[in-house]
Amino acid sequence: IFHLFLHTRKKMGLLLLLIICQCAIHSIKTNSVSSPNIVLLMADDLGIGDLGCYGNRTLRTPNIDRLAEEGVTLTQHIAASPLCTPSRAAFLTGRYPIRSGMAAFSRVGVFLFSASSGGLPSEEITFSKLLKQKGYATALIGKWHLGMNCESSNDFCHHPLSHGFDYFYGLPVTNFRDCKPGQGSVFLKGVQKSLVIPIQITGIALVSLAVVQYIGLLKVPFQALGYFLVIITISLVVLIFFFYHFRHLNCFLMRDHQIIQQPLSYENLTQRLTKEALQFIGRNSDTPFLLVLSYLHVHTALYASENFKGKSKHGLYGDAVEEMDWSVGQVLDVLEKNNLSDKTLLYFTSDQGAHVEEISSSGEVHGGYNGIYKGGKSTNWEGGIRVPGLLRWPGVVQAGAYIDEPTSNMDIFPTIVKLAGAQLPSDRIIDGHDLLPLLQGKVTRSKHEFLFHYCNAYLNAVRWHPENSQSVWKVFFFTPNFSPEDSNGCHDSHVCFCHGGFITRHDPPLLFDLSRDPEEQVPLTPETESRFYEILRVIHQAVGNHTRSLHAVPNQLSWDNLLWKPWLQLCCSSLFQSCYCDYESGGNPLQVHLG
């Protein structure tokens, strides 16, 4: 009996130990899944066909490809907009940009100047705000492009630090050709076209007034004529001054609220951005963190450091892609070094498709490759919105899996908010859906039955993935007029526009089945698709429901909010000193002030 007692007691002890171990393991897994580190890597204008994991065989992207091998590849991952500013607004908020006023009714759909008053409204809730409230350290490194100031040069109402980030190191606007001497200008052709007619009208008016005055038909006060000439002269002087100093006024590097380099230097820029990211991870290895590393690559002006220049098979564009891949590898290495790989969800994407119209003045292709997909940046053809979507989290999401369900960059918001243990906002519509069940293989269908594709503020196309069907229907209410007509983009205007003579409207809408025709080459007709009118009826009903969910909000991309306002200009010295400073090499940065 004594031996039986000892034996039973031993077995009970082992059973108790096993239960304790299982509880501990479950606790560790639950803690890991509920509050992982989050690293979000976003390229700029990268084509889905530029990466090895999406079929490219000539560009070397081993580190990005490693994300696909060790994680999930989304093959139908959709940007909420084919332009930088609205796409990034949707990414941060999980909402269509039309809901936040970050979609333009005018021709210009992005912010062009650092001293514009528009930006991501303070009322919007970003994932960085919610994660910060849950104790996450948060940082944005790289491109922002969502506004800076509202009423003064230091209110920073739209600044990253006003949207939940603890730390910012990067560009407040974006990387323009105008930012890099010798790379041409994205404005010059447009400004020339815009000024020709006003100058002609002004000249004709002045000559007409002089003739009328001379022959005595009408007496024009010389004082009024003088005022008119003064106004015209001042306007031209301001315009010439602004574009002559564009690089200094708009292309600068900030750390938090301070300018540290004005104008921006491209020397080892990717290395500097990467170093900042690695240091942030190192500083926060013992606490949950959110890092958004928003690359300047591969938006023009293209650049690459000496270690990568001339090394790829695709000129400077390829060099830039391969340098970005190196940076991704550095992030992976530092996560491993700090034993954080298994505790970190890592996501890689692009804000929209490749800019196919980007060709340098010397004829070199400076835009990327969208694979089999039609069109590119600024269009809602698949080439403009179907972007890389790679997610890695060892031990939690599937490794080496491919998911061909429609997903959106808006889905990152609810996914990471839930993982951080925060509550999704209940006072507004969140258009994204939690990706984790799909990534873990717990479900096989996306929650996106419909996705709405906007060209600026105009509903351009709708995607419908019916339940119990493999089809992905896509209708276009209008399409851009490519120029030349037989090309794959709007080369005459550099980007495609969304209204007027730049588009062709379709009634009935163009209909494609992306599951059979991902290249969008052959529109379906009532003769080739028996359900043609039924499909259009369902989509029109969905559009009606979606439209009723929209509410009027201030337009952040109105002309008033887009225009340069001198009193909002950030300047680290003074306008008379061309706003020049460089504190990257050492020293204390000056506080930002209006020159």
**410, 90 Cβ separation under 8 angstroms:** yes
Bridge partners of 169, per DSSP, are: 141, 255
Q: Among candidates 290, 285, 252, which has minimal Cα distance to 579?
A: 252
Token couple for 569: 């200009």
**153, 124 Cβ separation under 8 angstroms:** no
**308, 302 Cβ separation under 8 angstroms:** no
Q: Among candidates 318, 288, 352, 267, which has minimal Cα distance to 89?
A: 352
Token couple for 304: 């690459």
Kindly report the backbone phi and psi dihedral angles of residue 372, in degrees, each rounded to the nearest multiple of 5, phi listed first: -80, -5
Bridge partners of 78, per DSSP, are: 386, 408
**284, 161 Cβ separation under 8 angstroms:** no
Bridge partners of 147, per DSSP, are: 119
CA-to-CA distance for 110 and 146, rounded, in angstroms? 9
CA-to-CA distance for 491 and 489, rounded, in angstroms? 6
Q: Nearest 5°: CA angle at 220, between 218 and 224? A: 160
Annotation says 145 is catalytic? yes
The conformational region for residue 421 under phi > 0 = left, psi -120 to 50 = alpha, else beta, is left
At 323 the three-state DSSP class reads helix
Q: Among candidates 333, 327, 367, which has minimal Cα distance to 348?
A: 327
Provide the 10 A C-beta neighbour count for residue 22: 10
Annotation says 84 is catalytic? yes
Q: Which of 77, 145, 248, 453 is catalytic?
A: 145
CA-to-CA distance for 226 and 223, rounded, in angstroms? 5
Q: How far is CA 233 from the centre of its chain?
A: 38
**377, 352 Cβ separation under 8 angstroms:** yes
Token couple for 249: 């006024």
Element (H, E) at 408: strand 407-408
| Buried/exposed code over 154-188 (b: 16+ C-beta within 10 A; e: otherwise) | eebbbbbebbbbbbbbbbbbbbbbbbbeebbebbe
**329, 63 Cβ separation under 8 angstroms:** yes
At 69 the three-state DSSP class reads helix
**379, 79 Cβ separation under 8 angstroms:** no
Element (H, E) at 513: strand 503-513
**53, 73 Cβ separation under 8 angstroms:** yes
Work out the burial of residue 519: count CB atoms within 10 Å of its CB; fewer than 13 is exposed, 13-18 middle, 19 or more buried: middle
Q: Nearest 5°: CA angle at 139, between 134 and 141? A: 160
CA-to-CA distance for 80 and 245, rounded, in angstroms? 33
Q: Which of 7, 53, 77, 84 is catalytic?
A: 84
Provide the 10 A C-beta neighbour count for residue 126: 23
Identity of residue 299: H
Active site residues: 84, 145
